[in-house]
Structure 1
């Protein structure tokens, strides 16, 4: 399951990287054509120094483009292309007196550097562009006319830098938000049961194993609770699976509303409540202060169906059987703890259902030979006591 989540997140990262590779590739092709064209022009005008420089930059960009096509990743091709573009921008600033009309190339050069890099790198490089233009403006003020043109050009360059970096910032922020939504969606698909919204069996077991190792040395009570809806098959057979699904959703909602599902220290949601299989649910109750508090939680859980369907003529008297195993008294690992809680739950069913039972050494005897006194907490015998509706309870421990 973890490979499923990682695979989908990796797939999204690959899509983003592919788009960036296409952008770097497009900028490289345009740069290659432009550099080669100006190199030929400089050679024709017998300006051999600039011709050689452009030829070297053309070879670098060509090699960079070849590496980009050959390898899957960027392999720092975006950084190398940015270096070439910034070097060309520096040449334009140094030789702008000879080729003033070419200063306009600074705009697409800066935009390209911002576009092909991550936001922070693009911000640094574009700011450096502006600083180079400012330095050229300061040191070359001998001609008043040239100075006025450079001031207007510099202002336009700074404005473009601000606009492009603002757009890059919000684009990066949008991508992070989309990735967060995508991650949450994938995690919900992988870790949650789609019908009830509770944790699924895999995510519960992965989380519970880590949690048991954390609470092993604490003085508080830790228990695994195994729940099964009594006669649920009869509900499905009589009223259909749609009604059965609504019963499961209602029970899951009441579990979430009445059992603590946040870590008391970090206040983060955990996977302590899970749909184990079919109409079976599991809860890992940890950090419970005392056995008396645990009994109160179990009584509240056992009454979750009380008056749930009082207004309908279809379903009445839904109940649950609950088995409880204590950690580490009954078992010191999750697998064995689940097995003990499961046996305790079946013992509760054999003793008449609608009750909870702790695991004990005589469980196997109870399952094969039902005694007159099951020594369990029978909810049916206590129905005359006043029972609060589950929704009236606050979310306390458990």
Structure 2
């Protein structure tokens, strides 16, 4: 998992914690204050846990020491889990089914959220081994035997499911990253040429089947080489990113926007030719009036073509390219269609 995906995972965990810890606080506070089954140990543990949940939530809310909070919580929950299982095994001999049986799987879910997959498996099995040792003295009791065995088997199953589920998630993320790398431009985070080719083929197929139309808006940044030569390629890359972000904020959700290559971009839209020309003109003015961070102002030239019967990707793109070439030769910063 690269740093970008890792940051997304950390942000997702933070959102989960901000929801889960208040729920744990409310659940334990309610049990402490209103349950008639709170024993001496729980009477001491529950106030501490409620205070702990509150402190951890505040730290995570203000985005402070989140990793430290995770590790400390792992230890605190581990101690709590072992004590609850210890009392659970003793109560089984008396025929009492402790409700913690229902809650214990959550601890193992948390282990796999905090630790790397193999470490989480090893830690989970260690905790399970300790609980098995706790239960051995009670296995002779028929009332405790069956429940304990079921508890241990179910814990093993939870652990294995979590272990392989995390691998499935990792594989999905990896495949999603491969897909994104294959079809998205890493600099501008929009579709690359391969994606645009696919979009054009799909749009032509859709239009042939439904007798509808679409337009291609082919445009590039004027004098972009001059920007690279004068300011350097780092600034040139930043202009491309800012330019892409600006255009992306004005297209419709149904439009397709991709980088054709270098400073060249393509928009596929289901607008009519007239609407596409009008939109291109608005976009041209928006770009011209936008104050870019490092180069102040840039302009763009546009070529517009629309779908015609018997079109293939090469023909419709060629007409848009010819229109863009004409815009370049007629002074740039203009919209032309052929």
Q: TM-score range by the shorter chain?
A: 0.5 to 0.7
What residue number does 1:154 align with? Answer: 146
1:340 aligns with 2:319: yes
1:302 aligns with 2:284: yes
| SS at 1:249 equivalent | helix
Runs of 4+ off more than 6 Å: none
Q: Tell me if the contact between 2:273 and 2:306 (Cα under 8 Å) persists in the aligned partners.
A: no
The CA deviation at 1:292 is 4.1
Q: Structure 1 or 2: larger helix share? A: 2
Q: Tell me if the contact between 1:200 and 1:274 (Cα under 8 Å) persists in the aligned partners.
A: yes
Aligned-partner Cα distance in 1 for 2:330–2:257: 25
What residue number does 2:117 align with? Answer: none
What residue number does 2:265 align with? Answer: 281
Q: Tell me if the contact between 1:261 and 1:273 (Cα under 8 Å) persists in the aligned partners.
A: no
Q: CA RMSD in A?
A: 2.4
Aligned-partner Cα distance in 1 for 2:274–2:319: 21
1:156–1:349: structure 2 CA closer, same or farther, 3 Å change rule? same
1:262–1:160: structure 2 CA closer, same or farther, 3 Å change rule? farther
Q: Tell me if the contact between 2:224 and 2:263 (Cα under 8 Å) persists in the aligned partners.
A: yes
What residue number does 1:351 align with? Answer: 330
Q: TM-score, normalised by structure 2?
A: 0.54
| SS at 2:319 equivalent | helix
1:151–1:316: structure 2 CA closer, same or farther, 3 Å change rule? closer
1:216 aligns with 2:198: no
Q: TM-score, normalised by structure 1?
A: 0.46
1:292–1:226: structure 2 CA closer, same or farther, 3 Å change rule? closer
1:246 aligns with 2:228: no
How many residues of Structure 1 are paired with residues of Structure 2 in the alignment? 200
What residue number does 2:186 align with? Answer: 194
Aligned-partner Cα distance in 1 for 2:197–2:253: 15
Q: Tell me if the contact between 1:228 and 1:279 (Cα under 8 Å) persists in the aligned partners.
A: yes
| SS at 2:215 equivalent | strand
Alpha-carbon deviations, 1:210-252, whole Å to 9, x = none?
2220123445541111111111111111111111111111111
| SS at 1:274 equivalent | strand
Gaps of 5+ in 1: 1-146, 264-271, 360-398
The CA deviation at 1:324 is 0.8
